[in-house]
Amino acid sequence: MYLKLCKTNLLQNVRKQFRNYHSDNVFGFKRKNKPVYNASDQVLKTQCDQSNFFRLVTAFRQHAHKTADVNPVTLTREITISPDLDPKRYCLETDTQVKFTGILNTTKSEGTVAEAVDFLRHVYGKNIAVEFTHLENPEEIDWFCNRIEQLVPEETNTETKLRLGTELLRSQNFDNFLANKFTGVKRYGGEGAESMMGFFSEFFRLAAEDNIEQLVVAMPHRGRLNLLTGMLNFPPVKMFAKLKGKSNFPDKYQVTGDVLSHFVSSTDLKFADNKNLHVTLLYNPSHLEAVNPVSMGKTRAKQLENRDGDYGDRRWGDKIVNLQVHGDAAITGQGVNQECLALSGTPHYEIGGSIHLIVNNQLGFTTPADRGRSSRYCTDLAKMISAPIIHVNGDFPEMVLKATKLAFEYQRKFRKEVFIDLNCYRQWGHNELDDPTFTNPSLYGIIRSRGTVPDQYTKKLIEEGVLNEEEKNTIIKEHTKWLNEHLKAVETYKPDDVYFKNQWEGFSQAEETITRWDTGIHLDLLTYIGSKSVQFPEHFNVHPTLLKTHVKNRLARVAEGVNIDWSTAETLALGSLLYEGYNVRISGQDVGRGTFSHRHVMLVDQQTNHIYIPLNNLHENQNSFLEIANSILSEEAVLGYEYGMSIESPKNLIIWEAQFGDFFNGAQIILDTFVSNGEVKWLWSSGLVVLLPHGYDGAGPEHSSARIERFLQMTDSKEDKVDGDNVNMQVCHPSTPAQYFHLLRRQMVRNFRKPLIVIGPKTLLRLPEATSNFADMAPQTTFQPVITDNTHDPKQIQVILFTSGKHFYNLVSKRQSLGVKNVAIVRLESYCPFPTLELQQEVAKFSNAKIFVWCQEEPQNMGAWSFVKPRFENLVGRKIQFCGRPTQAAPAVGIGELHDLQVSEILSKPFSFEI
């Protein structure tokens, strides 16, 4: 409890007494003779001493971190004393007697101010320092005060010291072994940061004791190999084989692989009392911090499977926990971290609070910390979500264990984010082949002149009698022997086949052939789902506009089975998948209603603000659900999150919708390093769907184009070879609601998973011509990669226009207005896989056609033209011409008159070719 300051009138009486005593105190009076107090004055003085003592203690809790000795390689060893921590600032002398009870958490009930300051410096200002007074919840602040003041003075037992020392020695020996056996290899070792092994050892043990079942870990390069071989049951032979150029995947898989420092493990760790913990260390690209949202999404998907949090009756994180490891420069410099923290406490993205370990090398590549950020600490980002921060000196491994325990206990109690700032150093440069003295001579002068963390700690243990020299040598010798045995086994090493197991049983990589899947469903089920999709409780107050334009119109459409618009087709696809037992999640900005107010899969009561999702009430025994995740204004973190959910289980249809197609730009790193090549690098299968609204409607440069060309460039489609299902990802541009319906269902009914990029509509969402009928979604129907033109006699056709999406309807309208009958308009619905066979059949069907034209809305240097042209000419065997906007820098123009002129040109030119 906070002690109230003395009332003003009483304090004035005490001031009179203090004037003759205090020299440089807060009142500024000179020392004279020591005053004589009567009984009432003494009571007042004691009360004020207690009040001021509390202010002093509070100052230590708030400011001591600024002068704490947490940097193992500081350029100066001088520890400054903050004036905020001077007892005289609070009218206190060092020999003043004060009561500790209710203010300090010590074993003593009272003592002198000097004794209290010694205790406070030991707890808050030496090798561990905390920032927690910025927390908004008083309960959390009180908890931190109590727990750290109990924990820091505790003695570490002998068993823990021995375990810790062993881990540090093995980590150092592993790095030495690789340096000797594989010279010239970038391994991003843990030298200088070996104390992180103490963190992992303690964290895993605590998690198992707390009955956590699974831990999902995101981690960069530094110390990764040490962790894998030291604690995560990763066989060193697999690593050594990689270093010798061998593949770590069985031959039957189509992979390109990845670098050594991205290796992973998914393993069960066993502890005392039959406690087990499954740890999954995720693959990470070299793009810093990009794996963090992926790890959060995978954690959430595991929580879905295990019914944690809102998915069941437990708290978030009861069984599944997320751990993120960062570099100091990366957590400061990479914006995805801010996005992840902004996500961490929001509905549909909450996972119960991640634990963050920052391996603070005090360097970013070669940039020192004072040039790498504008804030005091690399962890200051944590304050945006009121998360506590624990700074610890890596030279003191036992303090690292205490920091770990403090962070773990906080997360378990409050289920919130917490950060550990492990201050350490890099023994070498950015990697083992780099010379850091080029740019940081002073820092590396200190590093080169000091002993290593494992050596310093084992020396301490030997001095304490916990370990002797012979035992130390035995630990190193046995570990070296074990590593040598694995090195000898390289020549006979065969990678284990651990892929497509457990929840992925029955799935495999796609084959080189193209398969067709019956994705239609029975007409009665279509009617049932369509009608249920707009049903709501009796006293639920639906918006009157939705009652008229959404509910009434949909009921009419599904009753007749005609004029099915885009949102209804989507609802039918999702509802049917839910009916069949798949989970569906749609994520993005305002996806519940849709950017263009077309979806409305969630209804909001206009009086209570309660949300109702009709598709989650299809039938009484429904056990799969639609999750509408209206996200923060983020792309990279949100898309990474959804990708993480998609790789966990093939039974989850995960959809991310960009507000406009070009919004994916903010998530380009996720697309480049995960979505487009996660399978060929790591054998991660993903059925993620990315919806990108696209269309040139005069909206200007930023909201017209989904940059189709970028996605097509990212595919591994061949220009001179027929594509199969095994392309790295699908890029489709459906022109009808039924086509979209089949695409969504096909994502789940196949025995393999591939990412799907859907170039989606804007104006087609409500265009009467762009509707479908139930017959287009009935059994024996499927997605058509190419849609032919049956409006005219094929023998009369002399020109074939090939196009996609919205532009088809514009061309049809123009052809009708011109009365042209010798031009066919064929729709290319799938760019990748490129539909070679179907296009060959179209050319054969229109046997008299002489001119073949690709028509697009996009400029010539954008869109699908550069992708379609070589494939059409090489595989279909016909020269093809271009009709579209001229080459330009911006995706679209922002001048209305110029836009109208371009529209006129791209619609007239296709019908002006001379035969």
Letter string b/e over residues 343-359, b meaning 16 or more CB atoms within 10 A of that residue's CB: bbbeeebbbbbbbbbbb
What mean pLDDT do residues 663-673 have? 96
pLDDT surpasses 90 at 160: yes
pLDDT category at 77 given cuts 50, 70, 90 is: low
Could you give the count of Cα atoms lying within 13 Å of 550 in the half-sphere of its Cβ? 22
Torsion sign over Cα 403, 408, 413, 417: positive
Tell me how far apart the alpha carbons of residues 356 and 322 are, in angstroms, rounded to a whole number.
9
- Tokens in use for 752? 């393999």
CA nearest to 106, candidates 79, 134, 78, 146? 146
Per-residue pLDDT tens digits for 195-210: 999 999 999 999 999 9
Give residue 511's identity as a one-letter amino acid code.
E
Could you give the count of Cα atoms lying within 13 Å of 9 in the half-sphere of its Cβ? 0
What mean pLDDT do residues 220-224 have? 92
Could you give the count of Cα atoms lying within 13 Å of 441 in the half-sphere of its Cβ? 1
What mean pLDDT do residues 26-36 have? 44
Contacts of 476 (CB under 8 A, 6+ apart): 169, 173
Residue in the structure block whose two tokens are 């179209």: 842
Q: Which residue has the higher pLDDT, 672 or 187?
A: 672
Identify the pLDDT of residue 428: 83
- Tokens in use for 604? 């909001």
Identify the pLDDT of residue 78: 61
Residues in the chain, overall count: 915
3-state secondary structure of 584: strand
Tell me how far apart the alpha carbons of residues 775 and 818 are, in angstroms, rounded to a whole number.
31
Per-residue pLDDT tens digits for 478-509: 999 999 999 999 999 999 999 999 999 999 99
Tell me how far apart the alpha carbons of residues 728 and 345 are, in angstroms, rounded to a whole number.
34
- Tokens in use for 347? 């509905």
Identify the pLDDT of residue 35: 52
CB 443 within 8 A of CB 429: no
- Tokens in use for 379? 């962890």
pLDDT surpasses 90 at 31: no
pLDDT surpasses 60 at 7: no
CB 809 within 8 A of CB 770: yes
From the CA atom positions of the chain, what is the Rg in Å? Answer: 33
Residue in the structure block whose two tokens are 């509509």: 761
3-state secondary structure of 79: coil
Per-residue pLDDT tens digits for 867-878: 999 999 999 999
Cis peptide preceding 755, ω within 30 of 0: no
Tell me how far apart the alpha carbons of residues 319 and 207 are, in angstroms, rounded to a whole number.
9
Strands 355-360 and 320-327: parallel
CB 766 within 8 A of CB 598: yes
Residue in the structure block whose two tokens are 């796609």: 510
Q: Which residue has the higher pLDDT, 235 or 31?
A: 235
Tell me how far apart the alpha carbons of residues 16 and 433 are, in angstroms, rounded to a whole number.
70
Give the max Cα distance, the chain: 119
Tell me how far apart the alpha carbons of residues 197 and 218 are, in angstroms, rounded to a whole number.
15
3-state secondary structure of 189: coil
pLDDT surpasses 60 at 6: no
Helix ranges (H only) for 194-273 are 195-209, 224-231, 236-243
Per-residue pLDDT tens digits for 567-595: 999 999 999 999 999 999 999 999 999 99
Helix (H) or strand (E) segment spanning residue 644: helix 636-646
CA nearest to 824, candidates 792, 854, 855, 869? 792
In percent, how much of the chain has pLDDT > 90?
Answer: 85
The DSSP annotation for 499-523 comes to: -S-GGGTT--PPPSS---------H
Contacts of 504 (CB under 8 A, 6+ apart): 649, 650, 685
- Tokens in use for 13? 């009486």
Per-residue pLDDT tens digits for 832-853: 999 999 999 999 999 999 999 9
pLDDT category at 433 given cuts 50, 70, 90 is: confident
Letter string b/e over residues 362-391, b meaning 16 or more CB atoms within 10 A of that residue's CB: bbbeeeebeebbeeebbbbbbbebebbbbb
What mean pLDDT do residues 779-801 have? 97
What mean pLDDT do residues 552-568 have? 96
Residue in the structure block whose two tokens are 């909201």: 703
Q: Is 480 exposed, middle or buried (0-12, 13-18, 19+ CB in 10 A)?
A: middle
Distances (CA, A) of 278 to 212, 258, 319: 9, 24, 11
Tell me how far apart the alpha carbons of residues 270 and 781 are, in angstroms, rounded to a whole number.
51
pLDDT category at 426 given cuts 50, 70, 90 is: confident
- Tokens in use for 559? 């009753």
Per-residue pLDDT tens digits for 517-552: 999 999 999 999 999 999 999 999 999 999 999 999
CB 763 within 8 A of CB 697: yes
In percent, how much of the chain has pLDDT > 70?
Answer: 95
CB 681 within 8 A of CB 283: yes
Residue 274 gets the label, from left (phi > 0), alpha (psi -120 to 50) or beta, of left
Mean pLDDT of the chain: 92
pLDDT surpasses 60 at 37: no
Identify the pLDDT of residue 80: 64
Per-residue pLDDT tens digits for 609-636: 999 999 999 998 999 999 999 999 999 9
